[in-house]
Amino acid sequence: MIDPQLLDRIADALAADGYIILDQVFPVEWLSSLESRATNLRPAQFKSAGIGRELGSQHHVAIRNDEIRWIEENHPVDTQYLVWMEQLRLELNRRLYLGLFDFESHYSHYAPGAYYKKHLDAFRGQSNRIVSTVLYLNKNWQPVDGGELRVYAKDSAHILVDIMPELGRLVIFLSDVFPHEVMQVNRDRYSIAGWFRSNNSSSSRVDPA
Ligand code: OGA
Ligand code: MN
């Protein structure tokens, strides 16, 4: 069960600011099983990430060159994560009337040299991604390792925050508001990216104040 006070904090932050950065939300045993699963996936179990899955697998290496593996509903480690996200989905709907319909997510691996250039996860009216999540799975990340998630203000002109992808850190933000990028990494970087979606592209949503 997710602590109700944590749920309130997340909902309040999404309504007021549009994003939140959380640490120590998951029990350490959970994190270590997610971390071992991500780091033990063999290279053949990942595939290079495309832009716009719906359009077919176009590989825009100039924009991103990470590799991904979709979360599996029947894998015990993944299920635990999905159960947590399902509760978050229902509680965000209850608190913010977001009409979140489901959650899709994948592991990501950025090999040394990889990056993901500035992008939005959704364009208003054109995508059903409403809320983005990223959980980081890297022990003892250091500034020299690069790979920060750089989040820009809505106007795209100035940097709001640089986030180090440290084990257990969870970032949640409105998908169509914040341009963001993954700075080039100098060390293998693992995470789980996820999106709460509406079941159509014109569902109600909140605007940050
Ligand atoms: C993405 C993304 C951010 C990160 O997969 O869309 O922006 O920090 N990921 O991994
Ligand atoms: Mn993104």
119, 133, 180: which to mutate for ligand 1, most atoms within 8 A of CB?
A: 180
Return the closest-CA partner of residue 198 out of 95, 117, 124. 124
- Please give the sequence-ordered ranges of beta strands (E in DSSP) within 129-208, or none if there are none: 129-136, 149-152, 159-163, 170-174, 180-182, 189-197
* Residue 142 DSSP symbol: -
pLDDT level of residue 61 (50, 70, 90 thresholds): low
Across 75-89, 112-126, 140-154, 159-173, least confident range:
112-126
Taking CB atoms and a 6 Å cutoff, what residues make up the pocket around ligand 1?
108, 116, 121, 134, 149, 165, 180, 182, 191, 193
Q: Which ligand is nearest to the CA of 191?
A: 1
User: When comparing pLDDT for 206 and 90, which is higher?
Assistant: 90
Q: pLDDT value at position 56?
A: 45
pLDDT over 50 (residue 151): yes
pLDDT over 80 (residue 180): yes
Q: Which ligand is nearest to the CA of 134?
A: 1
Contact residues for 141 (Cβ-Cβ < 8 A; gap 6+): 147, 164, 165, 166, 167, 187, 189
Which residues face 109 on adjacent strands? 67, 190
Q: Which ligand is nearest to the CA of 182?
A: 1
Q: Is 111 exposed, middle or buried (0-12, 13-18, 19+ CB in 10 A)?
A: middle
Q: State which ligand 1 atom lies nearest to the alpha carbon of 132.
A: 6
Q: pLDDT value at position 203?
A: 45
Q: State which ligand 1 atom lies nearest to the alpha carbon of 49.
A: 5
Query: What is the mean predicted confidence (pLDDT) over 17-21?
Result: 98
Query: What is the mean predicted confidence (pLDDT) over 119-143?
Result: 93
pLDDT level of residue 188 (50, 70, 90 thresholds): very high
pLDDT over 90 (residue 43): no
Q: Residue with the nearest Cα to atom 8 of ligand 1?
A: 149
Distance between CA atoms of residues 198 and 209, nearest Å? 22
Q: State which ligand 1 atom lies nearest to the alpha carbon of 119.
A: 7
